[in-house]
Amino acid sequence: MVNVQRLERIPDNGSFFYFRGCFINNFYPGIESATRFVLEKLGVNYVVSDDQTCCGTPEFSSLNADTVLTCLVGRNASIILEKTPYVITDCNGCYSSFYVAEALMEDPQIKFQTDKILRKIGKKFEKVEVIHIADFFYKKMSEILKKTTFTLGEMRMAVHYGCHYSHVDGEKGLDSMENPSFIEEMVEKLGGIPVEYTEKTLCCGFGGIQQTVHKTISYVVTQKKLDSLSEAYAEAIVIICPYCLNVLDKYQGNLLDVEMLENPIPVIHLSQLLALLMGAEPRKLGFQMHRISVEPIIAKLAPKET
């Protein structure tokens, strides 16, 4: 069930800082193009800054250095607050980094070290209101429906939320940790058929750096996820994290290369999906970076009846 209090904390109007993730910039720039397209179609006032850095999640995961994360988040937050207290992001890693850093700052020693480092560059750690783009689009759903020119044509769509999104608990999360369903609600309103599958909450297999340090185990997890999706006859997988897209898409591509997969399932970010439904040109949404073609998704779209 959707957390109404959390939904109410997302402003209807005002200015938002669009925090651009490194992984999206480097591997899936089409996600950023899609997010910008949808925001502009909705008339959302957003700002960006070339002064922002990486969110800190990759460094935190690989180095296990708490102050690396808190200092990077603190520096980024100070830049954001120069423009607005509200930040939106289309990456689960970036989203969770702010909340993890806030929790770490409750440790007196980490806080002392972080404050000491940030003072050297004239900054201090402050909190911002972090909004995942999926939450933001859910809040804007009535406006989105007015802007769409296509429907999903009763496509069977499975949703993968991702660990770094789902594990943000308590009042910070928009939906249940155990069984979120608000994106399925969006899929249904957009003309699709939400598909339930047994391994919905299972990790994509990336697991921070697990795909690097425990590759075999990671692949087993990914295969289990994909088997569950296939058994549910999903025609597409909707994700809200570029890392999850990379794993689920690339792994299927690798299987195709060695002729071990007959029916791949295209993977698409929610921003890309909404941009398509709003009439964006597919070539501008970066689908050429996907290993598994999204043409089956595009072919299924149906013109919206007027």
Which amino acid type is present at position 24? I
Place of tokens 């954001």: 80
User: Do the strands 156-160 and 193-195 form a parallel or antiparallel pair, or are they unpaired?
Assistant: parallel
Least confident stretch, 158-162, 217-221, 247-251: 217-221
Answer yes or no: is pLDDT of 97 > 70: yes
Place of tokens 């800190």: 56
User: Do the strands 45-47 and 86-89 form a parallel or antiparallel pair, or are they unpaired?
Assistant: unpaired
> What is the four-CA torsion angle of 100, 221, 28, 180, rounded to 10 degrees?
-60
Answer yes or no: is pLDDT of 292 > 80: yes
**What CATH architecture is 136-303?**
3-Layer(aba) Sandwich (3.40)
Model pLDDT, residue 199: 97
Listed by start position, the domains of the chain span: 4-132, 136-303
CA distance 110 to 115: 8
Q: Are 203 and 181 in contact (CB under 8 A)?
A: no
Residue 245: Cβ-neighbour burial (10 angstroms; 0-12, 13-18, 19+): buried
pLDDT band at 66 (very low <50, low <70, confident <90, very high): very high
Model pLDDT, residue 112: 97
pLDDT in tens, 107-165: 999 999 999 999 999 999 999 999 999 999 999 999 999 999 999 999 999 999 999 99
pLDDT in tens, 25-60: 999 999 999 999 999 999 999 999 999 999 998 777
Model pLDDT, residue 44: 98
pLDDT in tens, 226-242: 999 999 999 999 999 99
β-partners of residue 216 are: none
pLDDT band at 65 (very low <50, low <70, confident <90, very high): confident
Answer yes or no: is pLDDT of 210 > 70: no
Model pLDDT, residue 212: 66
pLDDT in tens, 67-95: 999 999 999 999 999 999 999 999 999 99
CA distance 12 to 213: 43
Question: DSSP letter string over 271-290?
Answer: HHHHHHHTT--GGGGTGGG-
Model pLDDT, residue 111: 98
C-alpha closest to that of 305 among 145, 155, 144? 145
The SS3 of residue 53 is: coil
Model pLDDT, residue 176: 86
Does the model's pTM come out above 0.85?
yes
Which amino acid type is present at position 271? S
Residues 6+ apart with CB under 8 A from 236: 155, 156, 157, 158, 265, 266, 267, 268, 294, 296, 297
CA distance 114 to 123: 10
Q: Where are the alpha helices (DSSP H) in the chain?
A: 4-8, 22-27, 29-41, 57-63, 66-81, 92-104, 108-119, 133-139, 141-147, 163-166, 182-189, 210-213, 215-231, 242-257, 270-277, 295-300
Fold of the 4-132 domain:
Glutathione S-transferase Yfyf (Class Pi); Chain A, domain 2 (1.20.1050)
Residues 6+ apart with CB under 8 A from 50: none
Distances (CA, A) of 46 to 39, 88, 174, 274: 8, 9, 21, 18
pLDDT-above-70 percentage for the chain = 95
